[in-house]
Amino acid sequence: MKTVLTDHDTDVVEIREKNSLRRSNPISSWMKGQFGLYVTSCTHILRTVYGNTIAGRSANHPNLTARRNKKATQEQGSVSPADKPGLYDNSSGLANPLPPSLPLKVGFLSYPMLFQNKGGLQVQVRETQASLRRLGFNVRLIDTTQDDLADFDIVHIFSVLHGNVKLVEQARAKGCQVVVSGLLNPALVVKEPLRLATVRILEALIARVSRYKVRTDFSSIRKALANADHIIALSNWERRVASQLFGADAKRISVVSNGVSEHFFKADSVAFNAEYTIAGPFVFCPGIISPWKNQISLVKALVGTDITVVLAGPVHEQHPTALDDCLGVPGAKVVYLGNLDRESPVLSGAYAAASAVVLPSTAESGPLVALEALAAGTPAIITCNNGLDMQPDGRCLHTVPPFDVQVIRKTVLAVVAAHIDPEICRAAVEKMSWGQVAHQIGDIYLNCVSHAARSNQLVANA
């Protein structure tokens, strides 16, 4: 008897749907469809009770144990125990942490053009990499033209958009443990059952009508999350999006927020004031200039006030007129600083010198700008469609509807007039360092590999 194991329970549904193209009897089709849903439900229950291996989703590729044994043999033959680096000051209390002789090799992946832009995701990847290296993990960006994914113990994929589902599938096929940072839009949370059902029905119809040649972003995201060994969400909001909307197993999702770079806590306005002279109070709005970041709403909101809007960041290549639209609003006071280097004291100085930092984006998964503003001692006003777990407190953190210019105007005027103590702002994020983020992610890596090792051992002993 031959046993076939699928990588994920959605594959059962996918196979069932493809087979349905050959059906002609509607009653038979309905019965088989119900049976497929029954199988899928049973798979969820088996996973919950017994674990992924028994449910048909192997905890790891069959060649992982052999690959790790080979690696251990090579290391033992070439490196003396005294010279082997310590892996990690494990804070999770794992019963069976990996031995120091086997430091984890971790590779980072994302969509190809990631580092052609500068923004929150790029900062997240770089800072996470640097912080994990300081803890002893062997972490580097994967060059898919040169590197073999099978050489890595963990492949951490940032973002499930831009077709990154293929990266997840390839990494699993190569025997790696796959960790995904989904970076999902918090505005996608669907609370109404009817709307959620409509989304899923439309997705199924598109696949069926196109004879499965067209896949939506929804289906790609769902499959990427489903095939990951573990999912890292930036907030509980994002965790709910992954679980409620895309059906990801909540037990495989951990919440790890973004961190704040140390130099923002030390920010002062000296470098900025030496470079720029702005009369009167101003609000700072850093980020790529585009309709998604919605700088235009902020500019329109402050027309007729004595508050200047200071913009900084590159202009989105697909929206080349976005900056001109902001500068051309009649009666508005707008200053554009260009694209400031992230490490520049002028950028951190702009945070510190501003009366408020405003981010009226259509949506933000985990807005680093807000955290950096608070670290610099400046209150933040951000879109209500945000993934931060921090609650607005009426002092250092406020939220606004992105397209309600009257609310934006009222909130900005109130914050500027309040003159909030910088220390109150800094205290809100004083424990959010990249070092702490790296410890949490390191624990996730160790748990993934430890679980896979135990599962493979159970299979070997069966």
pLDDT in tens, 312-344: 999 999 999 999 999 999 999 999 999 998 889
My answer on whether 405 and 455 are in the same domain is no
Indicate which CATH number applies to the domain containing 109.
3.40.50.2000
Mean pLDDT of the chain: 80
Going by their DSSP bridges, the two strands 105-109 and 253-255 should be labelled as unpaired
**Per-residue model confidence (pLDDT) at position 453:** 81
Residues 127 and 77 in one domain: yes
The CA angle 192-196-197, to the nearest 5 degrees, is 115
Residues 457 and 420 in one domain: no
Range of the domain at 35: 9-50
| DSSP label at residue 245 | I
Domain count, the chain: 3
Non-local CB neighbours of 74 within 8 Å, separated by 6+ positions: none
Q: What are 106-132's pLDDT values in tens digits?
A: 999 998 887 877 677 888 899 999 999
173 and 186 belong to one structural domain:
yes
Q: What is the pLDDT of residue 375?
A: 95
Whether 55 maps to a domain, the answer reads: no
Considering the domain boundaries, does residue 268 fall inside one?
Answer: yes
Is there a domain that residue 4 lies in? Answer: no
Same domain flag for 121 and 267: no
Same domain membership, residue 380 and residue 239: no
Give the relative orientation of helices 9-19 and 193-209 as an angle to the nearest 10 degrees: 50
pLDDT given at position 89: 44
Indicate whether 279 and 410 sit together in one domain: yes
User: Which pLDDT does position 209 carry in this prediction?
Assistant: 87
Number of H helices, E strands in the chain: 17, 12
Q: What is the pLDDT of residue 194?
A: 73
The reported pLDDT for the residue numbered 25 is: 52
- Could you give the 3-state DSSP secondary structure of residue 382? strand
Residue 166 structure tokens: 């293929």
- Tokens read off for 64: 């992982």
- Identify whether residues 331 and 393 lie together within a single domain: yes
CB 234 within 8 A of CB 183: yes
Q: Is the pTM here over 0.75, yes or no?
A: no
**267 shares a domain with 245:** no
User: Quick one: 78 and 221 in the same domain?
Assistant: yes
For 451, half-sphere exposure in the C-beta direction (CA atoms, 13 angstrom radius) is 20
Low-confidence residues in the chain, pLDDT < 70: 1-102, 118, 186-193, 196, 459, 462
- Residue 57 belongs to some domain of the structure: no
36 and 169: one domain? no
Q: Tell me if 360 is assigned to some domain.
A: yes
d(Cα 386, Cα 427) in Å, to the nearest integer?
A: 21
Round to whole Å and give the CA distance between 57 and 66: 19
Any domain includes 1: no
Instruction: Quickly list DSSP for 205-238.
Output: HHHHHTTT----HHHHHHHHHHH-SEEEESSHHH
What is the spatial distance between Cα 188 and Cα 401, in angstroms, rounded to a whole number? 15
- Tokens representing 239 are 């965790």
Whether residue 199 lies inside any domain: the answer is yes
Give the N- to C-terminal CA distance of the chain in Å, as an integer: 17
Q: Dihedral of CA 108/111/113/116: which sign?
A: negative
Please give the structure tokens belonging to residue 277: 């002279």
Question: Looking at the structure, do residues 40 and 84 belong to the same domain, yes or no?
Answer: no
Contact (Cβ atoms closer than 8 angstroms) between residue 181 and residue 159: yes
pLDDT of residue 108: 96
438's tokens: 């790296």
The number of residues making up the chain comes to 462
Q: Using alpha carbons, select from 293, 367, 370 the residue that is nearest to residue 326.
A: 293
The answer as to whether 59 is a domain residue is no
